[in-house]
Amino acid sequence: ALRPATSLPLHGVRALVTAGPTHEPIDPVRYLANRSSGRQGYAIAGALAAMGAQVTLVSGPTDLPPPPGVTLHRVETAEEMLAACEAALPCDVAICAAAVADWRVARPGTRKIKKSPDAPPPGLTLVPNPDILAHLSRPGPARPRLVIGFAAETDDVRDNAAAKRLRKGCDWIVANDVRAETGIMGGHENEVTLITATGMEHWPRTSKDAVARGLVHKIVTEIAPSHH
Ligand code: CTP
Ligand code: CA
């Protein structure tokens, strides 16, 4: 860049981004997971860094290289993701793009579970995982100024996402339609509705990189308006 780094709009701003799926162990060789590629979160982390932010990216297992200028912490489980996020505080803006597993296996086997022709399949007892977005959104001195969540929905996308924003206590929520036929989860494109306290705007389908740049533009407008 020809501009000095200090003139970038998010210079001095600390950002935390979560991305990717989590893997919740069943035993040493098996896990529960989901279709998240991590692409949307990595694109946001990269776009924030390009605008001068100091970015910590807490990522579940993905195949993606870290975006330039981003500090990457790789984790596997939801509990590890929460701990890595807490270690990254304080920050000014937090964006939770990870598809955190909602449940983990209560007591993962320390040895591989063996199948037996006579025994029925093992039952898995699941327990809820911590909600990282709700945790970061809780009021208090360490709360980031701006907390942004995603809402992965297959039905009543906008209504469910608007309710989720209120339930989680985050400032903005980015709703996306993850029905299999959209190809969004695991794909390269996204079609989102940004929901804030004052309204919602629909963005036509485009690349996850373009969604990331659009969202970062909104963030600049919100927290560094003089640069806008
Ligand atoms: N999230 C999180 N920690 C969790 C679950 C979700 O931080 N344990 C975050 C996601 O990163 C996303 C937002 O919460 O920003 C919404 O996730 P989503 O799965 O859409 O919502 P849930 O509240 O988990 O509800 P459900 O899966 O039942 O729709
Ligand atoms: Ca969920």
Residue nearest to atom 21 of ligand 1 (CA): 151
CB 126 within 8 A of CB 101: no
Q: Note the pLDDT of residue 224.
A: 84
pLDDT score of 5: 75
Residue to probe by mutation, ligand 1, list 131, 176, 184, most atoms within 8 Å of CB: 131
Bridge partners (DSSP) listed for residue 149: 96, 173
pTM of the model: 0.96
Mutate to test the pocket of ligand 1, among 82, 102, 171 (most ligand atoms within 8 A of CB): 102
Q: Is 115 annotated as a binding residue?
A: no
The confidence score (pLDDT) of residue 2 equals 61
Among the bound ligands, name the one nearest to the CA of residue 134: 1
pLDDT of residue 146: 98
Contact (Cβ atoms closer than 8 angstroms) between residue 13 and residue 52: yes
Residue position matching structure tokens 């029925």: 120
pLDDT at residue 3 in the model: 65
132 is annotated as contributing to ligand binding: yes
- Output the residue whose Cα is nearest ligand 1's atom 28: 102
pLDDT score of 180: 86
This model of the complex carries an ipTM of: 0.99
Low pLDDT (below 70) residues in the chain: 1-3, 228
Q: What pLDDT is stored for residue 62 in this prediction?
A: 98
Active-site residue, 34 included: yes
User: Going along the chain, which residue ranges are E strands?
Assistant: 14-19, 24-27, 30-32, 54-59, 70-74, 93-96, 103-105, 126-128, 146-153, 172-177, 189-195, 200-207
The token pair at 10 is: 């998010």
Question: What pLDDT score was predicted for residue 226?
Answer: 76
d(CA 47, CA 211): 10
Nearest residue to 74 (alpha-carbon basis) of 87, 88, 57, 90: 57
Using alpha carbons, select from 21, 17, 23, 18 the residue that is nearest to residue 35. 21
Stated length of the chain: 228
For 136-168, the pLDDT digits (tens) are 999 999 999 999 999 989 999 999 999 999 999
What sign for the dihedral angle of Cα 7, 52, 219, 222?
negative
Question: Which residue CA neighbors atom 14 of ligand 1 most closely?
Answer: 133
Query: In the structure, which protein residues have their CB atom closer than 6 angstroms to any atom of ligand 1?
Result: 18, 78, 96, 98, 100, 102, 129, 131-133, 149-152, 164
Nearest alpha-carbon partner for 198 in 222, 167, 215 = 222
| Ligand with minimal distance to 131 CA | 1
Adjacent-strand bridge partners of 153: 177
Q: Is residue 16 marked as binding?
A: no
Instruction: Give the Cβ contact number of residue 112 at 10 Å.
Output: 11
